[in-house]
């Protein structure tokens, strides 16, 4: 089991360069929908390269509560047998612990014709609307009633031509999972195309689905085929890879990242290059040499450059927090424009407490001027990605830092303290009562 960390914190001593080799964990945002997709079959599936993180454990608890048999056959391989799953109201407490509980809506609706979904939880990074999910499922034939729970029913799902009102990753995944069992052709336009969406589509294809357009924003599904369990695989987490690039950069370290998927890294590497951080690819290995220039490249004419996120293949929103911290250690000035979530940048006040020079212009934009020698402090992790950004800042800072609420980090990063220690980081996991 993943360790519960509500009463734990990280004690970090910064200033040491990280050096060594690391292998990225499986993509959290691919593992979760693939786990949910196993419910579409009535025979077992095996999933390879699954990260051992809190969000995965919470989703597995939901599947077990529905009657699925879930077994870790080795450290990162899951066997899921959905044969005995029966439809019932999903557990409200478990649903409130993770955003990914919403991913069960499509599979349960498609297989059983009904689902009762209590409100999902997840990171508090701004409003995260569910409208796109339900509008897509309605077009496939579902009736949606919204009250204290979300109740969906359908006598039979039928293929449809659907234009998503936003390229939501999880809405695309829910619609895709429902469409593979719907009768006839479904066309999903304005679909998300992130690497984790592609991993889900490839997993569904292994199970017997017919999907065209994988990797594009238009997916065509020939539905109605019975799906069988299969041997499915989760790809490397490109967001974790970006985080390790940032860790090497802010500590003046040298890290080799194994088993990457270079096609998933193009926008990430382009953005780090703007900050004067230039990793190099050697096949599937990504090497961050030391030292990096860490000089922000101005736009033509000497204008202040900008980093902005967006739907794939643009720079991932999940890496904006990392980019902000890296920018504090780079020479020059840059604007970071977070377009996707209106509260994600509110963590930057904690960086000000570390001594960073930055200005939060509004909920979406922050200007950073660097480099700044950060000083250790006491902070709390508000969400998964900001929590990792706090770790970067603490490792770049002089002195000792304490990071509370590390359960947020554990939701998305597997054994991050152990893996950082293997690279030379001074990171300890301690009980909060010990800190008193």
Active site residues: 123
Beta strands of 108-179 (E only): which ranges?
Answer: 114-117, 143-146, 150-153, 161-163
Instruction: Determine the Cα–Cα distance for residues 25 and 35; give it in Å rounded to an integer.
Output: 16
Report how far residue 388's alpha carbon sits from residue 394's, in angstroms, rounded to the nearest whole number.
10
First to last CA, the chain: 28
Q: Are 30 and 195 in contact (CB under 8 A)?
A: yes
CA distances (Å), origin 150, targets 101, 134, 359: 12, 9, 40
Q: 């939501």: which residue's tokens?
A: 168
Nearest alpha-carbon partner for 112 in 133, 142, 91: 142
What does the alpha-carbon distance between residue 171 and residue 137 come to, in Å, rounded to a whole number?
A: 9
Measure Cα distances from 263 to 66, 80, 203, 240, 304 in Å.
37, 30, 19, 15, 28
Residue whose tokens read 């959290």? 28
Backbone dihedral angles phi then psi of residue 162, each to the nearest 5 degrees: -120, 130
Q: What is the DSSP letter of 331?
A: B
Find the radius of gyration of the CA atoms of the chain. 22
The tokens for 427 are: 């990171």
DSSP at 259: S
Q: Token pair of 272, please?
A: 């780090």
């Amino acid at each position: 089991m993943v360790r519960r960390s509500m009463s734990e914190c990280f004690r970090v001593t910064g200033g040491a360069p990280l050096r060594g080799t690391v292998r990225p964990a499986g993509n959290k945002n691919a593992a979760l929908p693939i786990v949910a997709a196993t419910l579409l079959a009535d025979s077992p599936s095996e999933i390879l390269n699954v990260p051992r993180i809190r969000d995965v454990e919470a989703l597995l608890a939901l599947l077990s509560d529905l009657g699925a048999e879930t077994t870790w056959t080795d450290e990162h391989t899951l066997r899921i047998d959905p044969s005995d799953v029966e439809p019932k109201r999903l557990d409200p407490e478990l649903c409130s612990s993770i955003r990914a509980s919403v991913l069960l809506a499509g599979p349960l609706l498609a297989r059983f014709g009904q689902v009762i979904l209590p409100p999902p939880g997840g990171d508090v990074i701004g409003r995260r609307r569910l409208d796109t999910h339900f509008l897509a499922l309605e077009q496939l034939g579902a009736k949606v009633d919204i009250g204290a729970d979300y109740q969906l029913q359908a006598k039979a799902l039928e293929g449809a031509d659907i234009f998503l009102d936003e390229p939501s990753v999880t809405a695309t995944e829910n619609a895709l999972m429902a469409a593979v069992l719907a009768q006839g052709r479904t066309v999903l336009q304005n679909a998300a195309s992130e690497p984790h969406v592609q991993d889900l589509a490839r997993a569904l294809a292994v199970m017997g689905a017919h999907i065209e357009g994988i990797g594009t924003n238009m997916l065509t599904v020939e539905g109605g085929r019975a799906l069988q369990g299969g041997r499915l695989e989760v790809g490397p987490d490109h967001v974790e890879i970006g985080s390790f690039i940032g860790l090497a950069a802010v500590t003046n370290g040298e890290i080799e990242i194994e088993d990457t998927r270079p096609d998933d890294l193009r926008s990430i590497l382009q953005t780090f290059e703007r900050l004067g951080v230039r990793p190099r690819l050697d096949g599937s290995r990504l090497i961050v040499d030391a030292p990096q220039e860490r000089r922000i490249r101005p736009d033509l004419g000497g204008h202040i450059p900008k980093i902005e996120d967006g739907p794939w293949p643009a720079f991932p929103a999940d890496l904006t927090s990392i980019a902000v911290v890296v920018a504090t250690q780079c020479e020059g000035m840059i604007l970071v424009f977070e377009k996707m979530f209106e509260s994600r940048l509110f963590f930057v006040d904690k960086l000000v407490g570390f001594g960073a020079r930055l200005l939060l212009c509004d909920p979406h934009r922050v200007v950073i001027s660097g480099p700044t020698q950060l000083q250790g402090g006491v902070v709390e992790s508000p969400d998964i990605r900001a929590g990792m950004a706090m770790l970067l800042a603490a490792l770049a800072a002089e002195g000792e830092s304490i990071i509370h609420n590390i359960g947020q980090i554990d939701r998305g990063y597997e054994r991050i303290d152990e893996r950082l220690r293997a690279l030379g980081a001074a990171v300890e996991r301690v009980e909060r009562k010990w800190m008193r």
